[in-house]
Structure 1
Amino acid sequence: MTRDAPGPLVRDLRDALALIADEPGAYLESDHPVDPKAELAGVYRHVGAGGTVARPTRRGPAMMFTDVAGYPGARVLVGLLADRRRAARLLGATPDTVAHRLVDALEAPVPPVVVDDAPAQEVVHLASDPGFDIRALLPAPTNTPTDAAPYFCMGLLLASDPETRRSDVTIHRIAVQGRDELSIFFSPGRHIDVFRAKAEAAGRPLPVTINMGLDPAVVVGACFEAPATPLGFDELQVAGGLRGEPVELVRATTVDEHAIARAEIVIEGELLPGVRVAEDQHTGTGHAMPEFPGYAGPAHPAVPVMRVTAVTTRERPILQTLVGPGEEHTSLAGIPTEASVLQAVERSMPGFVTQVHAHTAGGGKLLLVMQVRKRGPRDDGMARHAALVAFATFRELKNVIVVDDDVDVFDTDDVLWAMTTRMQGSTDIVVIPGVAGHVLDPSQQPAYDAGIPAPGVTSKTLYDATAPWALRDEFARASFADVDPRPWAPGLAFPYLDDAVAGAAP
């Protein structure tokens, strides 16, 4: 498969913003005053959140707010990856090749390196100083009026296994609870929670850093999960593979851990053993924040606590956030999901699966559209086997739709057309009950279905929307002349066309 040549080197968030600054419709900066409490997210919901955000919404530009109420000089960025085309460009790819590019990075990882000096430590705020208060220092937003607390939504935790000293990075929802106190929600099975549990069993705190405002390759690479990146695999190697050079780390100033050297903001501290708080301990809302399925997740009654020891930043740092259930989450979680599945199916059945799309309706996790190329009657069964490989590869998948190679997996109308005309519910829908899923899907609970034994258990569904091989001629699409339309419509954009003439004029 043809790969894209590497684009301009992006080492940090500022490089990424410079890359898209001149692209029409990619970046918007506002100096109109905005309140980080619900208003900022409320604005971006209309400007460009997309995804499963309540309508009206749309996919739009990345947006920088430069006048944040209560935080003179602060800058907050939202939506950098809230469009697949923009996310792909920032990763040196195109929308239909970006997952393949991540597969290449997985197979040629580049480990991080440690440097002595770092932009992330240009300014240092110590929690031991009498006037320190993280609530006044960083404008953590709330997405809705019922959020449990202000949240850092794009905080990349970096920690090390207390036994092996192997490091890992993951993104979690991080609530601001006090002047030097954060709470962190860990979904079951996340690797840093394994490290935390080991340290807690030994009665020791776990040193961690929270890194914000990063190169997109770092945050996308960090969203890989097992089995693509098993316990002990440092996902920063994926970012190194994407960029062709290592991610730079620096020793933290107050804890025995590393930080990402070119981050905009780093929070240093320790996860405390045996300490738990309710996420909404100060608000009592019962809700945490909007999560990727499009619903407000419940506030957890007992989450681990991080004691902050320092905050280090660049000069004029940029706090990066996201609107929880929007298109940005789909880019973060979905593109690594696609890469994981592509890698697994290629190893299992080379050349059979040609494209996959972790659809935004599932937040990049719950719904996958898979394109296959049938070559004979046996491939009717192979199409379903490919879906089973996807389920086995990515535990959180709930639904997989399989389509033929004449269907565009990125076009929902095309996928629904295939499901409508190439699928019979009585024979082409396969349900697998009682399988592990994702706790943030509210239908995966005993109250919804008495047959579900515990939250996060689900029925997984395979929708085979491929034409039977024996009837393939009856399912041939109407064929049109392959014409380049640009001479007739010079004012319209056709981003899917190559620069070369696509066909002869009539």
Structure 2
Amino acid sequence: MSKQPYDLRKVLAELKEQPGQYHETDIEIDPNAELAGVYRYIGAGGTVKRPTQVGPTMMFNNIKGFPGTRVMTGILASRQRVGQILHVDYKHLGQALNEAVQHPVKPITVTKNEAPAQEVVHLATDAGFDIRKLIAAPTNTEYDAGPYITMGLVYGSSLDKSMSDVTIHRMVLESKDTIGIYIMPGGRHIGLFADEYEAANKPMPITINIGLDPAVSIGATFEPPTTPLGYNELWVAGALRDEPVQLVKGITVDELALARSEFVIEGEILPHERIREDINTNTGKAMPEFPGYNGDANPALQVIKVKAITHRKNRPIMQTTLGPSEEHVSMAGIPTEASILNLVERAIPGKVLNVYNPPAGGGKLMTIMQVHKTTPADEGIQRQAALLAFSAFKELKTVILVDEDVDIFDMNDVMWTVNTRFQASNDIMVLKGMRNHPLDPSESPAYAPDMIRFQGMSAKLVLDGTVPFDLKAHFERAKFKEVADWQKYLE
């Protein structure tokens, strides 16, 4: 008998065997702001307003207004838990994903009878069809533009069907059969495909896949240059699991869906149509984003016209995330670490031992690089590595360079480096007038009119906390006695 393929339910079964990693409740909760407000305290972490913490995956079994649907959040809101889920040491996740990118496993297509995601079908032509009553999409705050799908994986293809890709986008439920989707400009493959369809004045068929194996969610967040146009990030998930992701033909659209999803929304991105994000609330706000601030409502989102919703028949799980939570750090940060490692290893092999994108940068804005210098000729190579990191990921804003004796996953150790192996007059590099992530609110002409000409420009910062090679002997840490059996004193 073949083993059960990986999906969200298999992962949850494994997590339940790990103490403190999973919790569920039957207490009724309102998806409108209350659910996010509760998990903010329990386990959101990241850049969420304090008090918050790293906590368990949370399953809410009793959702107000949605009998029979569960809502889950936080499965990736702990780097250690991500390591458990992927069966990898959490400190080596970047290396593991880099290896997966280089050894892709392509998906396979199965039949409808083999696809639990299509066990129940709701057609947009059905009487009373309303996505807002079928999809328990929460709002993060009381000011959100509406209910958001925050963990929906969009699957789409090029106009000639020669290439396919997947991407996670923020999507707001606007009416009974309309979703607004924010496709960030700048090279996302789904956006390029949508541009092709719009130029041809044709609707683009897509599926939105919700409730997935976390290997799929993490793999899907890779970007160029690591995964160039034509590389489908589902290949990464296949490599991580050493088994192909299963796809199934859509019921109402000419596109594929992830066969083991909890929910699938089938629809089309309409050409030459746009919608104001907060058309139903007029708050001027979208939802909280990874830097920790409420994003401004977009005046012109692209429009998805929904054709059908399919889901599992046994208490389907609506997966969601808090925008600024640790979960975003895992999805955005770990693939970025892999991308940086990939590039620096090809350019300067053996010099960067590890990379960490911490929660303070939301997984996107900050990188800590652990550098290995072996000869005087290596002096300066650490700054070359920082420049490579910026080229690997244009949304990166700050790089901190440290030596190999520093634990990059311990911010106290990192900041110790900045305080004892760093002189601001010598060890700061500022690169002006570069592109960065448009959701950083400091990147506006009003904030720095002498440097920022257009929204989304930024100065990049390198803090070089590595010891000059010829002075290494003066910066040895205090050496304590190695005690192999120290744990017995805690018994």
Q: 475-484 vs 134-143, which deviates more? A: 475-484
The CA distance in 2 between the partners of 1:61 and 1:112, in whole Å, is 31
Structure 2 gap ranges (5+): none
Deviations 1:41-94 (A, max 9, x none): 000000000000000000000000000111112100000000001011111201
- Once the two structures are TM-superposed, the CA of residue 163 in structure 1 deviates from its matched residue by 3.2
Where does residue 444 of structure 2 map in the other structure? 445
1:400-411 counterparts in 2 under 5 A? 400-411=399-410
Where does residue 169 of structure 2 map in the other structure? 172
Letter in 2 for 1:272: L
Where does residue 482 of structure 2 map in the other structure? 482
Where does residue 148 of structure 2 map in the other structure? 151
The answer on 1:455 being equivalent to 2:455 is yes
Where does residue 125 of structure 2 map in the other structure? 128
Where does residue 386 of structure 1 map in the other structure? 385
Q: 121-130 vs 8-17, which deviates more? A: 8-17
Where does residue 470 of structure 1 map in the other structure? 470
- Once the two structures are TM-superposed, the CA of residue 481 in structure 1 deviates from its matched residue by 1.4
Letter in 2 for 1:104: E
Of residues 7, 21, 40, the one that matches 1:12 is 7
Deviations 1:254-279 (A, max 9, x none): 00000000000000000001111110
Where does residue 217 of structure 1 map in the other structure? 215
The answer on 1:261 being equivalent to 2:256 is no
- Once the two structures are TM-superposed, the CA of residue 165 in structure 1 deviates from its matched residue by 2.8
Moved over 6 A (4+): none
User: What SS does the corresponding residue of 2:32 show, helix, strand or coil?
Assistant: coil
- Once the two structures are TM-superposed, the CA of residue 331 in structure 1 deviates from its matched residue by 0.4
User: What SS does the corresponding residue of 2:290 show, helix, strand or coil?
Assistant: coil
The CA distance in 2 between the partners of 1:485 and 1:47, in whole Å, is 32
Of residues 76, 79, 103, the one that matches 2:74 is 79
- Once the two structures are TM-superposed, the CA of residue 39 in structure 1 deviates from its matched residue by 0.3
Where does residue 105 of structure 2 map in the other structure? 110
Deviations 1:394-421 (A, max 9, x none): 1110000000000001000000000111
Letter in 2 for 1:100: Q
Where does residue 277 of structure 1 map in the other structure? 275
Taking only the aligned residue pairs, the percentage that are identical comes to 54
User: What SS does the corresponding residue of 1:106 show, helix, strand or coil?
Assistant: helix
Q: 375-384 vs 140-149, which deviates more? A: 375-384
Contact 1:102 1:242 in 2 (8 A): yes
Where does residue 494 of structure 1 map in the other structure? none
Contact 2:68 2:316 in 1 (8 A): no
The CA distance in 1 between the partners of 2:189 and 2:441, in whole Å, is 24
Where does residue 296 of structure 2 map in the other structure? 298
Contact 1:10 1:215 in 2 (8 A): no
The answer on 1:44 being equivalent to 2:39 is yes
Where does residue 352 of structure 1 map in the other structure? 351
User: What SS does the corresponding residue of 1:297 show, helix, strand or coil?
Assistant: strand
The CA distance in 2 between the partners of 1:20 and 1:89, in whole Å, is 8
The CA distance in 2 between the partners of 1:66 and 1:165, in whole Å, is 41
Contact 1:204 1:272 in 2 (8 A): yes
- Once the two structures are TM-superposed, the CA of residue 280 in structure 1 deviates from its matched residue by 0.1
Where does residue 495 of structure 1 map in the other structure? none
User: What SS does the corresponding residue of 1:37 show, helix, strand or coil?
Assistant: coil
- Once the two structures are TM-superposed, the CA of residue 164 in structure 1 deviates from its matched residue by 4.8
Contact 1:434 1:457 in 2 (8 A): yes
Contact 1:10 1:16 in 2 (8 A): no
Where does residue 336 of structure 1 map in the other structure? 335
Of residues 181, 185, 189, the one that matches 1:188 is 185
Contact 1:369 1:402 in 2 (8 A): yes
Deviations 1:208-229 (A, max 9, x none): 0000000111110000000001
* Count, aligned residues: 483
User: What SS does the corresponding residue of 1:199 show, helix, strand or coil?
Assistant: helix
Where does residue 99 of structure 1 map in the other structure? 94
The CA distance in 1 between the partners of 2:47 and 2:297, in whole Å, is 20
Q: 442-451 vs 394-403, which deviates more? A: 442-451
Contact 2:119 2:311 in 1 (8 A): yes
The CA distance in 1 between the partners of 2:97 and 2:156, in whole Å, is 23
- Once the two structures are TM-superposed, the CA of residue 245 in structure 1 deviates from its matched residue by 1.2
User: What SS does the corresponding residue of 2:169 show, helix, strand or coil?
Assistant: strand
The CA distance in 1 between the partners of 2:385 and 2:49, in whole Å, is 33
1:245-256 counterparts in 2 under 5 A? 245-256=243-254
Deviations 1:220-256 (A, max 9, x none): 0000000001112100000111111111100000000
Contact 2:356 2:368 in 1 (8 A): yes
- Once the two structures are TM-superposed, the CA of residue 23 in structure 1 deviates from its matched residue by 1.0
Contact 2:32 2:139 in 1 (8 A): yes
The CA distance in 2 between the partners of 1:208 and 1:10, in whole Å, is 24
The CA distance in 2 between the partners of 1:338 and 1:10, in whole Å, is 27
The CA distance in 2 between the partners of 1:58 and 1:215, in whole Å, is 24
User: What SS does the corresponding residue of 1:105 show, helix, strand or coil?
Assistant: helix
Q: TM-score, normalised by structure 2?
A: 0.97
Deviations 1:266-314 (A, max 9, x none): 0000000111111000100111000001111100001100000000001
Contact 1:9 1:243 in 2 (8 A): no
User: What SS does the corresponding residue of 1:378 show, helix, strand or coil?
Assistant: helix
The CA distance in 2 between the partners of 1:41 and 1:362, in whole Å, is 21
The CA distance in 2 between the partners of 1:281 and 1:70, in whole Å, is 23
User: What SS does the corresponding residue of 1:19 show, helix, strand or coil?
Assistant: helix
Contact 1:358 1:364 in 2 (8 A): yes
Where does residue 25 of structure 1 map in the other structure? 20
The CA distance in 1 between the partners of 2:453 and 2:203, in whole Å, is 34
The CA distance in 1 between the partners of 2:232 and 2:163, in whole Å, is 7
Letter in 1 for 2:347: S
Contact 1:110 1:241 in 2 (8 A): yes
User: What SS does the corresponding residue of 1:423 show, helix, strand or coil?
Assistant: coil
Where does residue 497 of structure 1 map in the other structure? none
Letter in 2 for 1:320: Q
The CA distance in 1 between the partners of 2:385 and 2:216, in whole Å, is 29
User: What SS does the corresponding residue of 2:91 show, helix, strand or coil?
Assistant: coil
Distance 1:477-1:48 versus aligned 2 partners, 3 A rule: same
Contact 1:291 1:324 in 2 (8 A): yes
